[in-house]
């Protein structure tokens, strides 16, 4: 018999993870969502995966649009993570209050001041329980400024570390 999902969530909260934002251009706007399930799955070939809840709008957007971007949030971007995880936020204008620039090789955006950025093109999708694992060929990987730290997710909080 499997563990209770609520217990799994509580125990898993003890695993520190980086906090990222996935962006995808969709239906005339740029959709963005906070994610922590981002993994470099393979170096050669370069493959990056992100696990998205089956009900999330960003998962739906990625069914339509093959290219997407990931911004690895910096230690001072906790408010961005909170905003792009808030339920019921409007689809339109999600990045109006978040400085961003055009991505290099996707139709999405890079969040300004992030610790790193990736542009990807979807090559595989796997349904994994209540999530969809979207696997992308990494088209571009770029580091941010060397002084920028990282935002981590640990025990339900997102402190910054350097």
Ligand X SMILES: Cc1cc2nc3c(=O)[nH]c(=O)nc-3n(C[C@H](O)[C@H](O)[C@H](O)COP(=O)(O)O)c2cc1C
Nearer to ligand X, 41 or 85 (CB): 85
**Minimum Å distance from CB 157 to ligand X?**
9
> Cβ(66)–Cβ(107) under 8 Å?
no
Give the residue ranges of DSSP H helices in 52-120.
57-64, 78-83
**Minimum Å distance from CB 87 to ligand X?**
6
Cα gap 41→162, rounded to integer Å: 24
Q: Please give the torsion angle defined by the CA atoms of residues 57, 98, 134 and 18, in that order, rounded to the nearest 10 degrees.
A: -120
Binding site for ligand X (CB under 6 A): 19, 33-37, 51-53, 56-58, 81, 85, 87, 153, 158
**Minimum Å distance from CB 7 to ligand X?**
19
Nearer to ligand X, 25 or 52 (CB): 52
> Cβ(117)–Cβ(103) under 8 Å?
yes
Nearer to ligand X, 139 or 154 (CB): 154
């Amino acid at each position: 018999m499997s563990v209770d999902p609520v217990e799994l969530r509580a125990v898993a909260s003890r695993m520190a993870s980086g906090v990222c934002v996935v962006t995808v251009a969709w239906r005339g706007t740029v959709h963005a969502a906070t994610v922590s399930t981002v993994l470099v799955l393979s170096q050669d070939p370069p493959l990056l995966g992100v696990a998205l809840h089956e009900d999330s709008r960003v998962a739906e957007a990625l069914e339509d649009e093959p290219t997407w971007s990931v911004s690895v949030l910096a230690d001072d971007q906790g408010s961005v993570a909170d905003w792009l995880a808030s339920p019921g936020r409007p689809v339109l204008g999600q990045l109006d209050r978040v400085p961003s620039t055009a991505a290099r090789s996707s139709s999405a955006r890079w969040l300004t001041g992030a610790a790193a950025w990736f542009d990807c093109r979807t090559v595989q999708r796997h349904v994994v329980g209540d999530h969809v694992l979207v696997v992308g060929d990494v088209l571009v990987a770029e580091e941010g400024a060397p002084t920028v730290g990282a935002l981590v997710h640990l025990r339900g909080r997102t402190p910054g570390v350097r």
